[in-house]
Amino acid sequence: MKFLILLIIVLILAWKFWPQDGADSAKDSFMGPQMQALEKARAVEDDYIDAVEEKKRRIDEQTDGG
């Protein structure tokens, strides 16, 4: 009888502390809205950098060709 009680306790503890399958990603947590804002800002920054490089290229073409 003692063995059965000990076995039940061990199984309950093993079930309680068993690692969970999937951890929540950062996008699914409370940080999700902030990460979306960061992704939008990163896209805006990339567009800005592309525009600056294009403007610099045009200026270089005009000064070299003129």
Give the pLDDT of the chain (66 residues) as one tens digit per residue.
Answer: 899 999 999 999 998 888 776 666 766 777 888 888 999 999 999 999 999 999 999 999 999 865
Q: How many CA within 13 A on the CB side of residue 55?
A: 6
User: Where exactly are the structural domains of the chain?
Assistant: 30-66
pLDDT at residue 31 in the model: 80
Q: What is the pTM of this model?
A: 0.51
